[in-house]
């Protein structure tokens, strides 16, 4: 059992939760601010669903899904175009370097001016956040495709669309996945921050609302859900990555 | 395909410094011949091959590539030193992908061609493996199969066996000559290995280094089909090898090889 890597994978979070549980129950931690994890889980599983937890989760998931999808798709398309075309690269790169470091939450008010305070502004801010991370990693991936594959494609007169779809994209895929994984975590951060203000549902809304009404258990429930979503997303992306880049010489 | 060059030269300039890759090359390659370009490292032989392939351009002079059929441009196949296969495609798809992009292959049974050439290099059981699952020698066999399967008018090989061990290299020499004799393609083969050149070629172009120029062009008058173990015992073979060795030695004299 000690040799099983999944054992160790679960061991570290479980031991932290145990430490927390005993600290609260022994009175070392103030139970009003740090309720025991068992209490939070009980609340999360048996009480909160009745209070509309699913509405909040599905509202956040909806925003993440469309924002992430739009951001990643446009990041990949523009990253590949910049990687393959020098003019496009020179034109877009200064804009990317300029806009990338601006905290996306800082432009949320601006986005809300343009897209209104509804769903669209939250989807757009998630999309912008994902876009830059995926774009930069895709560009790096296209650059990392070895010159010899360009040579092979040129000598054998590979058609342009085949070159992009079957040489450049698979070659850049490992780097693209790095971008996708960074972007999904960042999407969670952004969606929660965006929901703190000007939302009437969502995990961020739940946490903020709970804080204002001093429903500490509900606040922790929201935080736990974010953690669980983060874990689930990264497991899904790792699985996809293993399937799509199985040709790599890494499992030896 | 017939190739001829007149005063073909190439040089690079970087930070005010001009480096000559090759200079004033005049030679001709005939249709259907096995032509070796032999020279010490740094003589510009790879650069010359890449110029013929269209991957680089010469600085001055003329390169004339005459296709067999004047109505359509001739096609070129190339085998690189290593890593020329796409790692994300199986062996079968590596060969098939190039065929799918070849206009001459439209309306041909691609699967049959792929299978024929995989069989020809003896990799039938490895058809659905990925390149990293194969040895270096097997990968070069796939590269060779891939280049011939396209039915190119001209085949270019850039030291394809340089990273292989001696045994594997000998086996692949035999395999290459066998396929070349069946398919009768014009083949230009770059190497720095004298025995490899003598064993494979009809003619050897010997290049001098710094700058790369044509030192001499030598006919290899050895019978075909060639088999290494018998050929190496022939006095004619040994004479050719030692003649080339002496010529190459002059090139390396400053370093006292």
* Domain contains B95: no
> Is B122 within 8 Å of chain A by CB?
no
ipTM (interface predicted TM): 0.91
> Please, which pLDDT band fits residue A251 given cuts at 50, 70 and 90?
very low
Taking the C-alpha atoms of residue B141 and residue B161, their distance in angstroms, rounded to an integer, is 10
CA distance A164 to A71: 20
CB contact under 8 A, B86 and A152: yes
* Residue B256 located in a structural domain: yes
Could you report the per-residue pLDDT of B67-95, keeping only the tens digit for each?
A: 766 666 668 999 998 879 999 999 999 99
More confident residue, A47 or A141: A141
Number of domains in chain B: 1
B57 touches chain A (CB under 8 A): no
Question: Considering CB atoms only, which of B76, B88, B101 is closest to A158?
Answer: B101
State the nearest Cα–Cα gap between A173 and chain B, in angstroms. 10
Q: What is the CATH number of the domain that holds B18?
A: 3.40.50.300
> What would the mean pLDDT of A184-200 be, rounded to a whole number?
92
Confidence (pLDDT) at A252: 41
Residue B232 falls inside a structural domain: yes
In a domain, B196, yes or no: yes
Go through the domains of chain A in sequence order and give each one's CATH number. 55-244 (1.10.3720.10)
Per-window interface: A 89-118 vs B, CB < 8 A:
none
Q: Does A243 touch chain B (CB under 8 A)?
A: no
Find all residues with CB under 8 Å of A230, minimum gap 6, and list them.
A184, A185, A188
Question: A245 and B78: CB-CB below 8 Å?
Answer: no
> Whose structure tokens read 């606040």?
A219
Going by C-alpha positions, the residue among B56, B59, B29, B70 that lies closest to residue B155 is B29
Q: Which domain holds residue B51?
A: 1-74+154-161+192-257
State percent of chain A over pLDDT 70.
Answer: 98
Of A149, A156, A171, the CB nearest to B98: A156
Instruction: Could you list the beta-strand ranges (E) of B80-161.
Output: 154-158
The predicted pLDDT at position A2 comes to: 63
- Whether B21 maps to a domain, the answer reads yes
CB contact under 8 A, A155 and B83: no
pLDDT at B72: 65
Asked if residues B21 and B46 have their Cβ atoms less than 8 Å apart, the reply is: no
| Interchain CB contact of A144 with B (< 8 Å) | no
User: Is the pLDDT assigned to residue A143 strictly greater than 90?
Assistant: yes
Q: Classify residue B236: in a domain, yes or no.
A: yes
- Identify which of B256, B254, B249 has the alpha carbon closest to the alpha carbon of residue B40: B249
HSE on the CB side for B72, CA within 13 Å? 8
Q: How many CB atoms lie within 10 A of CB B38?
A: 25
Question: Taking 80 as the threshold, does the pLDDT of residue A1 lie above it?
Answer: no
Question: Considering the domain boundaries, does residue B178 fall inside one?
Answer: no
Sheet of strand B2-14: strand arrangement: B17-29, B2-14, B60-66
In a domain, B199, yes or no: yes
Question: Looking at chain A, which residue has its C-alpha nearest residue B103?
Answer: A157
DSSP per-residue string spanning A173-237:
HHHHHHHHHHHHHHHHHHHHHHHHSS-SSSHHHHHHHHHHTT-HHHHHHHHHHHHHHHHHHHHHH
| Weakly modelled stretches of chain B, pLDDT under 50 | 256-257
- Report the gap between the CA of B25 and the closest CA in chain A (Å): 23
Give the residue from chain A lying closest to B132, CA to CA.
A249
Give the number of C-alpha atoms closer than 13 A to the C-alpha of residue A34, restricted to the C-beta side.
13
Please name every residue paired with A136 in a beta bridge, in sequence order, or none if there are none: none
């Amino acid at each position: 059992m000690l040799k099983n890597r999944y054992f160790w994978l679960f061991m570290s979070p479980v031991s932290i939760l145990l430490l927390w549980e005993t600290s609260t129950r022994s009175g070392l931690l103030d139970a009003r601010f740090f309720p025991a994890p068992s209490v939070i889980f009980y609340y999360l599983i048996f009480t909160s669903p009745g209070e509309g937890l699913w509405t909040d989760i599905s509202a956040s998931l909806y925003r993440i899904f469309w924002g992430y999808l739009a951001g990643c798709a446009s990041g990949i398309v523009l990253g590949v175009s910049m990687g393959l075309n020098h003019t496009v690269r020179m034109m877009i790169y200064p804009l990317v370097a300029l806009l990338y470091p601006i905290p996306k939450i800082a432009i949320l008010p601006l986005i809300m001016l343009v897209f209104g305070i509804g769903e669209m502004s939250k989807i757009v801010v998630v999309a912008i956040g994902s876009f830059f991370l995926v774009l930069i990693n895709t560009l790096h991936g296209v650059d990392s495709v070895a010159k010899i594959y360009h040579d092979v494609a040129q000598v054998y007169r590979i058609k342009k669309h085949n070159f992009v779809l079957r040489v450049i994209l698979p070659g850049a895929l490992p780097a693209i996945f790095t971008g996708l994984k960074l972007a999904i975590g960042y999407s969670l951060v952004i969606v929660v921050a965006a929901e703190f203000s000007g939302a009437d549902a969502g995990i961020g809304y739940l946490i903020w609302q709970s804080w204002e009404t001093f429903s500490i258990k509900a606040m922790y429930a929201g935080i736990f859900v974010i953690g669980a979503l983060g874990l689930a997303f990264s497991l899904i992306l790792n699985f996809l990555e293993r399937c799509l880049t199985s040709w790599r010489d890494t499992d030896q | 395909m017939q190739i001829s060059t007149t005063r073909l030269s190439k040089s690079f300039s970087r930070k005010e410094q001009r480096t000559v890759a090759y200079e004033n090359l005049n030679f001709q390659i005939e249709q259907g011949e096995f032509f070796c370009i032999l020279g010490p490292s740094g003589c510009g032989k790879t650069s010359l091959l890449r110029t013929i392939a269209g991957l680089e351009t010469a600085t001055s002079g003329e390169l004339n590539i005459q296709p067999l059929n004047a109505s359509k441009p001739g096609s070129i196949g190339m085998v690189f030193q290593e890593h020329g296969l796409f790692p994300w495609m199986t062996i079968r798809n590596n060969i098939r992908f190039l065929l799918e992009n070849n206009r001459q292959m439209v309306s041909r049974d691609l699967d049959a061609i792929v299978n024929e050439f995989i069989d020809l290099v003896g990799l039938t059981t490895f058809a659905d493996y990925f390149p990293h699952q194969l040895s270096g020698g097997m990968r070069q066999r796939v590269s060779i199969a891939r280049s011939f399967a396209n039915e190119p008018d001209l085949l270019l090989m850039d030291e394809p066996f340089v990273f292989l061990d001696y045994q594997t290299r000998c086996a692949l020499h035999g395999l290459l000559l066998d396929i070349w004799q069946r398919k009768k393609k014009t083949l230009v083969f770059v190497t720095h290995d004298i025995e490899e050149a003598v064993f494979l070629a009809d003619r050897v172009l010997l290049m001098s280094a710094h700058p790369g120029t044509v030192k001499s062009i030598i006919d290899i008058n050895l019978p075909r089909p060639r088999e290494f173990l018998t050929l190496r015992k022939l006095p004619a073979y040994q004479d050719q090898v030692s003649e080339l060795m002496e010529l190459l030695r002059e090139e390396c004299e400053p370093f006292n090889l």
